[in-house]
Amino acid sequence: MENHKEVTKVFISIFEDEQLRNSNKTWKKFFVSDIFLDNQFSDWLEELEYYLKNQTLVPQNQLPQAFLLQIMNAYDIATNGDGILINEGYLYGTFEEEKATKYELILKRIWDSQEKFFENHEKLENVTNVIRRNCFLYYLSLKQIVENQSYVENSFDFCASIAIGESEMVLNDEEIENMDEDDIDSDDNIEAGIVDLYKYILRKYNAPLEVCRGLYQWLNLDELSTKKEHGLYDELKKYILNKYSKEKIMEQDWSDWYS
């Protein structure tokens, strides 16, 4: 249920706590919370911009980097050092003001106003933030398909938003060694954010059979590997099997949609 006043209230409670507003993990948690996801494309960003302009806790051009990185990831916005880039169907293109949405314009104003612009850009484009941004890229693609119930018409994107999305959440050993401890969400090194977003879609849209079938088969939840037994996928599997029988989930092969 949309309640942009409530999400702004939660945001302010975090921002006004010095320790929380500088915590990467806190902002990661906030941007996968139901209260944010329910209001992501509501009027809350306008309230956010107003609040940031009028608060006196930190200079407007020195907002916490942890917050800046995670809000850009949540809206699937990249940068190239000159400015922000907008996703155009899995590719990022140059920002064009006349084509930009309201939320893109607000985020550009916030991002471009920062004193540490280039430092923020470098951090946003490191592997952990690219992975986090991918979480939201595939989530937003899947969300649109679910809302339109266009599983067959958009079968490629439907498959990609799950199969490709999950495979791109894996970090190699060299990447893990170069990560800050605060960037790692789970011991198996799969970005936990994508699973949180999948679970939100199931809750929000009453677990459509097509989505449950896709998640169960494409993520191979019937045979959880050792790496996935840290609880990352267990709750997702239990949720699906509480909604539908295994026979129902497996009665149609996902590859039938992909052909």
**pLDDT tens, position by position, 128-174:** 788 888 888 888 888 888 888 776 666 656 665 565 555 555 555 55
Closest CA to 77 of 53, 54, 29, 45: 45
**Residue 25 buriedness (CB in 10 A; 0-12 / 13-18 / 19+):** middle
Q: How far apart are the first and last CA of the chain?
A: 36
Q: How far is it, in rounded angstroms, from Cα 112 to Cα 234?
A: 41
What is the β-pairing status of strands 92-94 and 77-79? Answer: unpaired
Q: Which amino acid is at 122?
A: E
> What confidence category does residue 50 fall into, taking pLDDT thresholds of 50, 70 and 90?
very high
Contacts of 48 (CB under 8 A, 6+ apart): 8, 11, 106
pLDDT at 121: 87
Residue 190 pairs in a beta bridge with 170
Task: Specify whether the CB–CB gap between 188 and 195 falls below 8 A.
Answer: no
**Residue 181 buriedness (CB in 10 A; 0-12 / 13-18 / 19+):** exposed
Sign of CA dihedral 140, 148, 10, 46: positive
Residue spans per domain, the chain: 4-118, 127-258
Q: How far is it, in rounded angstroms, from Cα 109 to Cα 105?
A: 6
> What confidence category does residue 188 fall into, taking pLDDT thresholds of 50, 70 and 90?
very low
pLDDT over 90, % of the chain: 34
| pLDDT (average), residues 4-10 | 91
pLDDT score of 213 more than 60: yes
User: Rounded to two decimals, what is the model's pTM?
Assistant: 0.84
Mean pLDDT (the chain, rounded): 80
| pLDDT (average), residues 54-62 | 95
pLDDT score of 69 more than 60: yes
pLDDT at 31: 95
**Residue 20 buriedness (CB in 10 A; 0-12 / 13-18 / 19+):** middle
In three-state secondary structure terms, 170 is strand
Contacts of 167 (CB under 8 A, 6+ apart): none
